[in-house]
Structure 1
Amino acid sequence: MSDFPFLLSWVQKLNIQNEWILDIACGTGRVTIPFIENGYQMIGVDIHEGMLTEAKRKSTSYTKGKWLQQDCLQLSVEETIPLAYMVGHGFQHFLTNIHQNQLLTSIHNALAENGIFILDTRFPSKEELMQPSTEEYWTTITDEKGRRCDLYTELNYDSIQQIQHYITTRRFYEDNTLVEELKTTIDLRYTYPQELERLLVENGFELLHIYNDWDGNELQEDCYSMVVVCRKKR
């Protein structure tokens, strides 16, 4: 099962009909739009204007969607929200304890009484974090200019800050000659299950489930991505 069927099952479980559902860090509406297509009223929030522009373009034929450019740490939503979610491992982009707390407080304030919040976050397994910190070949693609592009990745885990630093290097070739090299970086925070439960409780949530996957299986040590379901408590 992917994220959408799981989320839809919770929408049905809560018997949501005319209330609004909140997609936090919605991007281009990958999950928001299927809900709109199924007749639900959706609010998609993202900080990136370009993402929202694309989401609006993809949903012009529908009237049950709102797209708001906002900082997730300072959500401002007037509608009653019985269910909010943040998928695509968006939670991991909030790197510090302060930002994690601000995010959860912001979501808590946006939710209706007893509202449900669902998120996914990569499991901090040994295999995920303790990879060699050397550049490794990943794959080869052809770019829009017809050039060969070799992609390499490099991972460095900061065990004090619990942040994995990802470096992706793209090397472009014309006739087997290197003509351009680009590097991009992304930092992701890893949070352990027990730590996550305490974090949620401290920010006014009751942890209902931590699943192994979107199929709702029990959490195991070989988990790749935890699926977390919690309820607004106070």
Structure 2
Amino acid sequence: MTDAAPAAVVLAVLGAIAGSFLATIAVRWPQERSVLRGRSACDGCGRTLRARDLVPLVSWGAARGRCRACGARIDLRHPAMEAGCAAIGAASALAAPDIVGVAGAVFGWLLLTLAVMDARDFWLPDELTAALALAGAAAAMVAPPDVAARAIGGVGGFALLWLVAAGYRAWRGVDGMGGGDPKLFGAIGLWLGWRMLPAALLVAGMVGLGWIAWRRVRGQAVARDEALPLGTLMAIAAYPAWLVMILQVA
């Protein structure tokens, strides 16, 4: 743990920085706003942000969550993703204080971005899912599981949810699952391998059922056909599954 502490600090800082950029993607991309062009600006008044406004978490806290110029609330996805990516970076380094931990951090950061976008906009961009898949294939060179397990996990994960979606469509005559969900599960399979996929899917289902139960306890109505962001649920389950897998082989 002592040896892992410096790596955890470094990956936490890098995670906060990555989270700042990834939050911009999560906020702007669904609105069809440019992510790469132009300087960072307030989403409310368009004021160009200065360096002091761009320090992850610190700037948000110093400004009390509001734009210094117009007073508009800063979208909570910004500090939440910065904090989340920092925590993922630290956890990955503590599990594996080497290149394996870096790979795991990238896995977690991309998953968090996809989870936030699916929860808010029910959208899993193919570009991000493809990046997750490619990174998973590349990670086979430095981290477990082996290439064969990843390949089976990728193909099997996609095929499983695609067949479920096709079966539901044939039975009910409507789509019961977004087209991005099988792709995401296949990408997750390229990271976890086939052995961890059943557990990840089970945990995702349990998280979904827990969310529904929580809403019912609070007195909120839940319709039988209400859509749940399956991509978010799978992302929530996948990163802890990766941590467990790495700790088991450490």
TM-score for both structures, normalised by structure 1: 0.31
Higher helix share: 2
TM-score for both structures, normalised by structure 2: 0.30
Higher relative contact order (CA 8 A, sep 6+): 2
